[in-house]
Amino acid sequence: METTHDRSHQNSQMLRAPRIATLPLPSVAYSEETPHSILTYEDPALVNYDLRRHPSDARPRYPRLVRLTWCYESAMHPAVSTLTLTCGILPQLIVVTPSHSGFEFVIVQDVLLAVHEAYQVTVNEHHGPTATDSDPSFLREHSTVLTRHMWGGISEQSGPGQWRVHIE
């Protein structure tokens, strides 16, 4: 014969709380800005560009998919007057501002030029008169920047108004 106590014990076993699972949080979006599609980090990059050369040598990987004026289009949507980039292999922040008269916003070419110049400064510092390739500490610290030189693209923000640039 089943008692009231037995029924309440069975009900309490059936009504147990589900196990709590850890859910990943979505990435933090610091703003609604998004990079121009040709600048976004992709594999392979949508811009074929060797940072050792001038940005005028940069070419879209799929030329039929972009307009002829791609390098003069806004680098961000909505347009911004300044853009800050960080890069794991370049020691300095890269602050991009409009470099062409008549433009009040950063364009694709401004981004490529700013990253090119930052890359060149870093390489020139490492190949200066005091740096030698035979110095083991020099090679350990700087071999990455000397072997990676292809544009990879811009990925998620690393902070408010800061984006990561990838060099492959």
* pLDDT in the model for residue 109: 96
Dihedral, 117, 152, 46, 110 alpha carbons, nearest 10: -20
The residues with which 159 forms a beta bridge, in sequence order, are: 162
Residue 3 exposed, middle or buried by CB count within 10 Å (0-12, 13-18, 19+)? exposed
| Structure tokens, 84 | 């800050």
Tens-place pLDDT, residues 85-128: 999 889 899 999 999 888 999 999 999 999 999 999 988 876 65
| Structure tokens, 100 | 């062409």
The mean per-residue pLDDT over the stretch 161-167 comes to 90
User: Is the backbone peptide bond immediately before 24 cis, with ω within 30 degrees of 0?
Assistant: no
Tens-place pLDDT, residues 36-76: 999 999 999 999 999 999 999 999 998 887 788 899 999 99
* pLDDT in the model for residue 123: 84
Residue 12 binned pLDDT confidence (cut-offs 50, 70, 90) = low
Cβ neighbours for 132, distance < 8 A, ≥ 6 positions apart:
138
